[in-house]
């Protein structure tokens, strides 16, 4: 069975692949995962949505945003997402 860490990694990857006009769908997925795992997906998680959108227009700037985020939040989401979005 997939644990919540694996699920979050997979979800972050999916979000990164979404087009900007699919952000409401990404938000719905986050809400669903939050209910299923009991995690409160706020704060840094919403940064990933913004970075996924920003990366459409400026990949280098998006990478800098992620690196900055990783210094603020040393949790697993940051380190895994940086690898996924590169």
| Contact between residue 46 and residue 53 where contact means Cβ atoms under 8 Å apart | no
- CA dist 29 and 14 (Å) reads 10
45: containing domain:
4-85
Q: What is the DSSP letter of 21?
A: G
pLDDT of residue 84: 52
pLDDT of residue 20: 42
The pLDDT profile of the chain, 86 residues, written as one tens digit per residue, is 556 666 666 666 566 555 444 556 666 666 676 666 555 554 455 556 666 666 666 667 666 666 665 555 545 455 555 555 44
Q: How many domains does the chain have?
A: 1
- CA dist 20 and 25 (Å) reads 10
The candidate with the shortest Cα–Cα distance to 12, out of 41, 37, 35, 54, is 41
Alpha-carbon Rg for the chain in angstroms: 12
pLDDT of residue 18: 54
pLDDT of residue 19: 43
pLDDT of residue 22: 58
- CA dist 3 and 51 (Å) reads 25
């Amino acid at each position: 069975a997939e644990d919540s860490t694996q699920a979050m990694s997979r979800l972050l990857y999916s979000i990164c692949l979404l087009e900007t006009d699919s952000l409401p769908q990404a938000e719905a997925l986050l809400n669903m995962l939050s209910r299923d795992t009991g995690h409160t997906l706020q704060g840094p998680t919403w940064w990933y949505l913004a970075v996924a959108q920003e990366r459409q227009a400026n990949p280098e700037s998006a990478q800098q945003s992620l690196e900055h985020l990783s210094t603020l939040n040393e949790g697993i989401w940051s380190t895994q997402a940086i690898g996924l979005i590169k």
